[in-house]
C-alpha cells in the first residue's frame, strides 16, 4: 500500500492527481525562489491570520500549496507520494481532490481560530494530515480496507508525526491536529463506496 515500486511513467499514469499536486509544489517553489518578482506569490498566498481577518480568504486555500523552502517542499511532497496514491485509487480522483482541499481548509480554519492574529503559516502538511485522518478512520472503523501491517505503519507514522509536530520548531501544530480531525470526520462519507487497494 505504501511501498512505491512503479517507474516514473507508470506512477504519473496511475496517480495523476498526486502527480499534479507534487508538480504544483515544485513549480510554485521554483517561481518563488528563482523567478524575478516570484516572491510576490508567497506574500499574496501565505496563510496570514491578520490578512484573513481583513477579507483575504483565499489564503486559507493558497497556503496549502506553498512552502517555506526546498526541504519543506520536498518532505511534504515525498509524504504525499508515499501516502497519497492508495487513497487516490480507493477514493477516486474527485473524492481525493475534495478530501485534500477540504481537509487543508479545515486545518487552516482551525489555525485561524486557535492561533494569534499575527500568526503566519504555509505548507501542505495540513492537507496531508487530513489524508492521515482518513487512514486512521480505516484503522479503527474500516478494517476491511486496510490490513494489519499497513495499520501498524499508519499508527507508527502518526506517532512520529505528532512527536515531530510537538518537538520541532516552526510547525503549525493546530493545522496538523485539525487536519487529522477533519480527515477523520470526512472519512465516513468519502469511504462509503471505497474498495480495498491492492
**In terms of C-beta distances under 8 Å and separation of at least 24 residues, what long-range contacts does 140-148 make, across chains too?**
141/187, 141/188, 142/187, 142/191, 142/194, 144/196, 145/90, 145/191, 145/194, 145/195, 145/196, 145/197, 146/1, 146/196, 147/1
Find the catalytic residue in 48, 125, 126, 174.
125
Contacts of 42 (CB under 8 A, 6+ apart): 32, 66, 122
176 is catalytic: yes
* C-alpha cell, 90: 480507493
pLDDT in tens, 23-32: 999 999 999 9
Q: What is the pLDDT of residue 144?
A: 94
Per-residue pLDDT tens digits for 105-157? 999 999 999 999 999 999 999 999 999 999 999 999 999 999 999 999 999 99
In the chain, where the domains are located? 8-190
Enclosing H/E stretch for 121: strand 120-121
In tens, the pLDDT along 61-104 reads: 999 999 989 999 999 999 999 999 999 999 999 999 999 999 99
Catalytic residue among 25, 72, 121, 176: 176
Highest CATH level, class, for 8-190 = mainly alpha
- Rounded to whole angstroms, the Cα distance separating 84 from 4 reads 11
125 catalytic? Reply is yes
* Residues 6 or more apart whose Cβ sits within 8 Å of residue 26: 73, 77
Model-level pTM? 0.94
Amino acid at each position: 500500500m505504501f511501498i512505491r515500486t512503479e517507474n516514473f511513467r507508470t506512477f504519473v499514469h496511475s496517480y495523476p492527481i498526486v502527480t499534479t499536486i507534487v508538480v504544483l509544489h515544485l513549480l510554485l517553489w521554483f517561481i518563488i525562489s528563482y523567478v524575478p518578482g516570484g516572491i510576490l506569490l508567497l506574500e499574496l498566498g501565505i496563510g496570514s491570520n491578520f490578512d484573513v481577518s481583513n477579507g483575504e480568504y483565499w489564503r486559507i486555500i493558497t497556503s496549502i500549496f506553498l512552502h517555506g523552502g526546498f526541504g519543506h517542499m520536498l518532505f511534504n511532497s515525498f509524504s504525499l507520494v508515499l501516502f497519497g496514491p492508495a487513497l487516490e485509487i480507493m477514493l477516486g480522483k474527485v473524492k481525493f481532490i475534495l478530501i485534500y482541499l477540504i481537509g487543508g481548509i479545515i486545518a487552516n480554519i482551525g489555525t485561524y481560530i486557535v492561533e494569534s492574529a499575527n500568526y503566519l503559516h504555509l505548507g501542505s502538511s495540513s492537507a496531508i494530515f487530513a489524508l492521515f485522518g482518513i487512514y486512521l478512520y480505516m484503522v479503527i472503523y474500516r478494517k476491511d480496507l486496510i490490513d494489519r501491517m499497513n495499520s501498524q505503519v499508519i499508527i507508527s507514522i502518526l506517532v512520529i508525526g505528532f512527536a515531530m509536530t510537538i518537538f520541532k520548531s516552526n510547525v503549525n501544530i493546530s493545522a496538523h491536529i485539525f487536519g487529522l480531525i477533519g480527515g477523520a470526520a470526512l472519512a465516513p462519507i468519502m469511504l462509503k463506496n471505497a474498495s480495498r487497494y491492492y
